[in-house]
Amino acid sequence: MKSFIFLLLTASLLTTGCESTRDSKANPFNWFGGSKKEGNQSDAKTALIPKKKLTLFTMKKTEAVYLGQPIDKLSTLIMDEVPGGLLIQVTGMAQKTGIYDGRLIPLDSPDTSVLEFRFDVIQPTDAAGGPAASRTITVAAYLTDQDLGTVSTIRVRGANNTLTKRR
C-alpha cells in the first residue's frame, strides 16, 4: 500500500511539469507535426485582420506603379443615388482587346463645383483589334456625401472624348 501511494505521488509530481512542455519541441508528440493551435474563429473584431508573422528575412513591399493609359472612347456615364453618396459607372471602349485594371483617377480641377476623373486602363502592346464586346470595360466609383460637398458637375475624361453629367 505504501508503494502504491509513493508511485501515485511520484507520477503526479512528474506530470505537473508537462503543461509547459506541451507545445515545445521537447515533447515527442510534436516532432512530426502534432496538433496545431487554432485561434478563436468567432472573434468579430479581428476577423479580417491578417495575422502577421515575424520573420528575420522579410522584404519591404513597395507599392506598384500603375501604368494605365487613358481609354480610347467613353460611351456611357451613369450616376446613381445610393444611401450615403453617389455611385458613378463609366463604360469605355479601347482600340485593342486585352484591356484590364480600369480605374477612375481623380484630377485637380480649378472649379470646386466640378469633380473630374480620368478613365485609365492597362493595355497590352501586342494585342489586336477585336469585336466591340471584347474591347469594352466598365468601372465604378463610390463617392460619399462628404466627397461631393459643393460638387454639382462630374466630368470623366478619356483619350478622345469627355462625358459630363450634372447632379
Residue-wise pLDDT tens digits, 70-111 = 999 999 999 999 999 999 999 999 988 989 999 999 999 899
Q: Establish if 2 belongs to a structural domain.
A: no
Residue-wise pLDDT tens digits, 110-153 = 999 999 999 999 988 887 878 888 999 999 999 999 989 899 99
Q: Establish if 73 belongs to a structural domain.
A: yes
Q: Establish if 53 belongs to a structural domain.
A: no
Q: Establish if 154 belongs to a structural domain.
A: yes
Domain hosting 81: range is 69-166
**β-bridge mates for residue 103, sequence order:** 120
The secondary structure of 4-39 as a DSSP string is HHHHHHHHHHHHTTHHHHTTSTTSGGGTTS------
Number of domains forming the structure of the chain? 1
Q: How far apart are CA 157 and CA 106, in angstroms?
A: 10
Q: Establish if 30 belongs to a structural domain.
A: no
Rounded to an integer, the average pLDDT of 56-82 is 85
Tell me: pLDDT of 14 over 70.
no
CB 121 within 8 A of CB 100: yes
Q: Establish if 10 belongs to a structural domain.
A: no
